[in-house]
A and B are shown apart, each in its own frame.
Chain A
Amino acid sequence: MADEAAGGKTASGMTRAVVSPMAYRSEHKPTWCPGCGDFGVLNAIYRAMADLRARPENFVIVSGIGCSSRLPEFVNAYGFHSVHGRLLPIATGIKLARPELEVLAVGGDGDGLAIGGNHFMHAARRNVDIAYVMMDNAVYGMTKGQPSPTSDMGMVTKASPYGVLEQPINPAALAIAFGGTFVARGYSGKPRDLEALIVSAISHKGFAFVHVVSPCVTFLDAFDYWQANTVEVEAHDPEDRSEAFRIASITDKTRLGVFYQREEETLDEKYEGLRDRALIAGRLKVEDFIREYQ
């Protein structure tokens, strides 16, 4: 399987030959409900990997827990399907330990904004060079329909019989506020646009966040709403953080596209620099440290 996707290797670790998105499908068939928005995201990821000629052996997909977090099992690449909300610490560790690897984190809104919310803030502010695709269906699907951090106020579910009392979170606006250097929003109903956003996110040097509206057909079927209420983002300066925040926050017609993009030194690059300085006098050994205690 891996060999089908691999062609002539280039310096950047990508292949030159044209590869089919099919090459990135694993033998494991998705377990999602028919019509789930996450199929659109998975297909966009296959296509993006093909566009980038990604080598499966150098590509790691990390996830937490939830319907969308099953995604690594459906892709022909290295994967880490971890515990609830902890995808970003694992992805950070992989990238810092092996900066040459391409690291993609995927998960849902509950995973990334509720139980894992703390890690979102810190992964973004570190500007670690990973891409993070959050599939937002505004509901806990795997546990059968409880409200999530992005559910609308007033939403009635079995776990919110009197309606949700809290304000919903805007994940893209948060990512901009946290210091993410690439922030975009896509929609699973527009897979070609989403493919392009994922390609840009993976290609971006730094913490790249793609908020994907990915409706749940079973517990909160909102396809018709999103079909009618999403529009392309208007032209603006992508390096203007305030403007990006404003656009990401518009609610009458939800904007899709790249809100913010700015090149800044990444954590892994900074660490490389730090290490070069630390190694200036040559690489030390444990014996050198032991001698400090004479």
Chain B
Amino acid sequence: MQVNSAMVALTGESGDGIISLGEILAKVLARMGINIVTFRTYPAEVRGGQCIFTINSQQDQVFSQGDEYDILLCMDSSAYTLNSNRLRSTSVLLYNSESVPQEQIREVSYGIPVRSLTASTGLARSRNVLMLGVISKLFNVDMKEIKAVLSERWGKSQDIIKRNLDALMAGHDWAAANLIKKDGFRFESVDAPRRIVLSGNEAICLGAVGAGCRFFSGYPITPASDLLEWLMDRLPKVGGVAIQVEDEISAFGAALGASYSGVRSMTATSGPGLALMTEFVNLAGTAEIPIVVVDVQRAGPSTGMPTKTEQSDLSHAALGGPGEAPRIVIAPTSVEDCFYQTMRAFNLADKYQLPVILLSDQSLSHRLEAIPMLDPARVPVSSPKRPTPEDLKHYRRYLRTEDGVSPMSIPGVVGGAYVATGIERDEVGMPSYDPENHQLNMRKRQKKLERAAIEDAEFEQYGVEDARIGIISWGSTTGAVREAVQLAVSRRLKVTSLHPKLLFPPPKQRIGEWLSKLRDVIVVEVNQTGQYQHILQAEFGRIMDSLHKATGLPFTAGEILAKVEEVAKHGR
């Protein structure tokens, strides 16, 4: 019997309630003390097309979305055709016996007559929860926790909650009466400290509120719209302002105006929106106004595949824009890290008075993880550099200071009036085309990045000390790399991995030291052209190996392990 360790895949048509089913089951398993990482992929349309929701559940720690399926639920025959190739010999299948032709099925399986069951009880709309009842009975998922989660989710409507509890019991009782256990999977509650279950998008929103963000403006775009919706609801409850505006340009502009006024501000978008914001990114950089921009990347180019994942906005985020203005690009590595890196993003933006672009992606945005209670106190909110009374006697907004950061006045401060501008200016802020002045200002602004590369080089590192093979990756790919490194080390391969949070400017010293001990370096990222590889190669003058893919799906640990084994065997 395999207890608490199973890769669960729930599949069906968009409209079958697969995502809700997955979210509920994930939360219940987490409350039973089991670790989970989820992944979802779904069509861009509201109805039609296949959804997959997977839950990688493990008794021990789990860092990635997993790979082959142990338990597969198929709501219809298309789901079976699409997903049955990811089953292994030990897997178990639950299927809609009125849709999937039984002669095709080879696996240990349970057929469930979904339509008859829901028709006889009038529960067609709750067929997902009916399946949850079956799952609960077959795999011993805690019914008390399921009922609690259902009540929290739909508790506001007595009708809906009753319908769903009826469906749950119908599935459970039918399974008890009709199915005989013949597979090897089972869940059991374990004693574990209480955790929270949330997505990457939710963790970013919490981080923003925790960091004192009190202004948000946004424009709907998959997969970043969750941030807009969440903050439209919550920001007024903390005394802040959130507004949906007419496009991403306006979203950046409104947030920049609010930040100019002294309020911590953020906008959020995906690749196409970041493209529209690009002119503003360099205005913020040269006018030296802090702002946080979240880019929840999706598969491009152009419209691409809006509901699929990719790490392909890095070059644009780091280097895109008219002329050369400083900006910082950071990437969180997990749901928990989404919270802390977002908090950090606001501090960095304030510290250096520039835009900070935080790169998440679709897979991380909707990934659920069970994580320890978040602690905002871990990232103390810093204070911005404001002019002193002495500074205000002859205020110079763009004073060229030792560290490149000038005291920033905000409206309301007597004697602190200045004009923020994208035009080159003198120290006071008045337009200047003087050659030497321009050179000094370019130098001043660049100095901030040189400092950030040294002072703010946060990272994660895994594997063994005396490694000769190194994997470097960023953002959501970190979990799969971490698991691959564990597997490689368990096979006696000497491997290390490094995951900088600060992508741009590259933390030269920290990465340089790590690189110097390695024979082979593999850069792993979800894009076609190896964007991070190119940044690193340019910075460190060293050819690196690249493992990249652009399928719209995240890496699995197995794919990375295969590459490591190949490099270990043959060298680069």
Contacts and interface: CB of A to CB of B under 8 A. Distances in A.
Given A78-B411, A82-B283, A284-B237, A289 B422 contact: no
Interface in B412-452: 412-423, 430-431
A79 B234 contact: no
Contacts, number: 181
Contacts of A278: 236-237
A229 interface: no
A92 B246 contact: no
Interface in B347-368: none
B249 A90 contact: no
Contact of B254 (A56, A70, A89): A89
B234 A94 contact: no
Interface string A251-292: 000000000000000000001001100110001111101100
Q: How large is the interface on A (under 10, 10 to 19, 20 to 34, 35 or more residues)?
A: 35 or more
B254 A279 contact: no
Contact of A58 (B214, B262, B411): B411
Contact of A79 (B247, B251, B279, B420): B420
A101 B261 contact: yes
B252 to A, nearest CB: 8
Contacts of A286: 206, 209-210, 238, 376
A253 to B, nearest CB: 35
A78 B411 CA distance: 6
Nearest to A79: B419
Contacts of A88: 250, 253
B196 A289 contact: no
Interface in A43-75: 56-58, 60, 62, 70, 72-73
Q: How large is the interface on B (under 10, 10 to 19, 20 to 34, 35 or more residues)?
A: 35 or more
Given A96-B243, A293-B196, A79 B262 contact: no
A285 B258 CA distance: 21
Interface in A65-114: 70, 72-73, 76-83, 86, 88-98, 100-101
B221 interface: no
B418 A289 contact: no
Given A56-B417, A101-B412, A92 B257 contact: yes
Contacts of A12: none
Contacts of B413: 57
Nearest to B209: A286
Nearest to B234: A289
B522 to A, nearest CB: 35
A203 interface: no
B262 A3 contact: no
Given A278-B236, A289-B209, A294-B194, A78 B418 contact: yes
B44 interface: no
Most chain B CB inside 10 Å of its own CB: which residue of A2, A95, A283: A2
A2 B255 contact: no
A73 B280 CA distance: 20
Nearest to B202: A293
A267 to B, nearest CB: 8
B269 interface: no
Interface string A1-30: 011001000000000000000000001100
A90 B239 contact: no
Given A2-B414, A101-B412, A94 B280 contact: no
A241 interface: no
Contacts of B132: none
A274 B162 CA distance: 33
Most chain A CB inside 10 Å of its own CB: which residue of B257, B280, B287: B257
Give the secondary structure class of A's interface: helix
A176 B423 CA distance: 33
B544 interface: no
Contacts of A218: none
A6 B415 CA distance: 11
Nearest to A277: B236
A105 B202 CA distance: 36
A95 B241 CA distance: 11
B373 interface: yes
A140 B553 CA distance: 48
A109 B458 CA distance: 48
Nearest to B207: A286
A28 B234 CA distance: 44
B131 to A, nearest CB: 24
Given A6-B414, A97-B241, A286-B209, A92 B283 contact: no
Given A89-B253, A290-B374, A83 B280 contact: yes
A192 interface: no
Given A6-B414, A93-B257, A287 B376 contact: yes
Nearest to A96: B241
A119 B250 contact: yes
B415 A3 contact: yes
Contacts of B255: 93
Interface of A: 2-3, 6, 27-28, 31, 56-58, 60, 62, 70, 72-73, 76-83, 86, 88-98, 100-101, 118-119, 121-122, 271, 274-275, 278-279, 283-287, 289-290, 293-294
Interface of B: 194, 196-198, 202, 205-206, 209-210, 214-215, 217, 234, 236-239, 241, 243, 245-247, 249-263, 265, 279-280, 283, 287, 373-374, 376, 411-423, 430-431
The 9 closest A-B pairs by CB, nearest first: A93-B257, A89-B253, A93-B254, A79-B419, A97-B258, A278-B236, A90-B257, A293-B196, A89-B250
15 contacts: A57-B411, A78-B417, A79-B418, A86-B280, A89-B249, A97-B214, A97-B215, A97-B257, A98-B261, A119-B246, A275-B236, A286-B238, A289-B234, A294-B194, A294-B196
Given A79-B417, A80-B421, 16 more contacts: A2-B417, A28-B431, A79-B419, A79-B420, A80-B260, A80-B420, A83-B279, A90-B260, A93-B260, A94-B257, A96-B243, A96-B258, A121-B246, A278-B236, A284-B234, A286-B376
